[in-house]
Structure 1
Amino acid sequence: MTSVQGTAVDIPTEDGTADAYLAHPADGVPRPGVLLYQDAYGLRPHLRSMADRLAAAGYTVLVPNVFYRHGRAPVFDLPEFIGPETLPDLWTRIGPVMQSLTPELSVRDAGAYLRWLEASPRVTDGPVAVTGYCMGARLALRTAGAFPERVAAAAGFHGGRLATDEPDSPHLAAEHIGAELYFGHADNDPSLTEDQIERLEAALTAAGVRHRCEVYPDAPHGYTQADTDSYQKEGDERHWEALLDLLSRTL
């Protein structure tokens, strides 16, 4: 197992400073860059451990606090384990913060994150990969569409609202994407209906995007997040296999 070093970093953006977590192999040798987008609960120990696992596989991984406009992480006072008893109160605070991160702001921030990776001595020259979880899957899709020259691969897991009827739906970025994409959908996910899955698949196919979309059976929304009651070991292990396969082929 490769030894990993993790550090807190600050990223200058057009609207301030985004705090972030950077994980990379401890030998100091530059590695391909991966931008990892959080779920709605934000940058916390579990996401740092996910970044460490990716770094141990040979990548330099940046996990920004995408809610930095509302404070440094942790933006929300989270319990050690996020279960149903904490969700109602938690979501009354998370909802407005999520909604304040508009598509325009998220793309603007993505540019700052990608520029930071490009300038980092820990990252090799060339394109990077993006992976995202829950709301982070939307951010990954938008980033791939906005920066086709910088993103070689993008993945999203248990993403919601990826292909809605709204004029700024994430799937409408398909025609601009040059990356290879992978999506691992949660089964019976109310935030990603069968209609949305079909709409996303159709848009990617029509745009000629290299992609694979799979529905993980019996996997709940949030199946990769081990600090929540949505975690499913089988889905999580399948996600790691698919993600590492995508990265090894594209970076």
Structure 2
Amino acid sequence: MNAVTGTLVDIATADGTADAYLARPDDGRPRPGVLMYQDAFGVRPHLKAMADRLAAAGYAVLVPNVFYRHGRTPVVELPEFIDMAARPDIVGQVVPLMQALTPELTKRDAGAYLAWFAESPLVTDGPVGITGYCMGARLALYTAGAHPDRVAVAAGFHGGDLASEAPDSPHLLADRITAELYFAHADEDPSMPEEQVRRLEKALADAGVPHRCEVYAGAHHGYTQSDTAAYDPAAAERHWTELLALFGRVL
């Protein structure tokens, strides 16, 4: 594994400036780019540690603050350990931020993040990978569909509403996707019920998208996030095994 350097970068977008965390091997060599999409709680020490772990495997990992229109990180002040049952007020703070990030804004911002990769001397030429968590899994799917020429592989973990009946549900972009996809659902996740799991699988299969979808038994929504009450160490390590193998093969 490589020693890692973490820095803060600003990315110009059509609507302002997105602050982001960049983790990369500290040898200065250009590496394949990976876009890491946050969960609803935003860019914080835990997510930066995840980016560092991925970067140590040989990638330039960019973690943008997707809520940048509402302020720089931290957009919402969080406790060190996030327990929604003990702090229901957090929901009231993050839900409006999620709702304000429309699919069109997501796709537009993704173009800026991907352009930053293309221009950075720290990133190798060619398509990038994406990994997304909770709401970030939806952002990954939107990005893969909106920018098929730039995304080679995308993974989503404990994503919600990936295949809803909404007219802008991300699964409806399946016929535009050329990337290889991997989704690992939590089976104790009301935001991704069985009918949506089946609908996503069918959409990807019908569109001929190379993909694999799994349900992690006993895992809850948020199982990869070690600073939350939903954390499941076994499921989180399984996620690392699958993600590193996928990126190692495709990128």
Question: Normalising by structure 2, what TM-score?
Answer: 0.99
Count of residues in correspondence between the two structures = 251
**Alignment map for 1:37-48 (pairs within 5 Å):** 37-48=37-48
In structure 1, stretches of 5+ residues that fail to align are none
- 1:150 equivalenced with 2:150 (yes/no): yes
Q: Give 1:98's aligned residue.
A: 98
Q: CA deviation at 1:84?
A: 3.3
Contact 2:84 2:90 in 1 (8 A): no
Distance 1:119 1:105 in 2: 21
Q: Counterpart of 1:22 in structure 2: which amino acid? A: L
Indicate the SS of the match to 1:23: strand
Report the 3-state secondary structure (helix = DSSP H, G, I; strand = E; otherwise coil) of the residue aligned with 2:47: helix
Give the superposition deviation at 1:16. 0.1
Q: Is the 8 A contact 2:145 2:177 kept in 1?
A: yes
Q: Which residue number in structure 2 is paired with residue 140 of structure 1?
A: 140
2:153 is equivalent to residue 127 of structure 1 = no
Report whether the alignment pairs 1:2 with 2:2.
Answer: yes
- Determine what percentage of the aligned residue pairs are the same residue: 68
Matches for 1:68-107 after TM superposition, within 5 Å: 68-107=68-107
The amino acid of 2:100's aligned partner reads: S
What is the alpha-carbon distance in structure 2 between the residues aligned to residue 178 and residue 6 of structure 1? 31
SS in 2 for 1:218: strand
User: How much has 1:249 moved relative to structure 2?
Assistant: 1.1
Taking the aligned partners of 2:124 and 2:84, their CA distance within structure 1 comes to: 42
Matched, 1:205 2:205: yes
1:53 alignment counterpart: 53
Q: Partner of 1:219 in structure 2?
A: 219
Structure 2 residue 201 is the aligned partner of structure 1 residue 193: no
Q: Distance in 2 between matches of 1:112 and 1:164?
A: 27
Task: Check conservation: 2:23, 2:51, Cα contact below 8 A.
Answer: yes
Q: Which contiguous aligned blocks of 4+ residues in structure 1 show a shift greater than 6 angstroms?
A: none
C-alpha displacement of 1:200: 0.1
Structure 2: distance between partners of 1:48 and 1:63: 8
Q: Deviations over 1:114-143 (max 9, x none)?
A: 000111111000100011000000000000
Shift of 1:86: 4.1
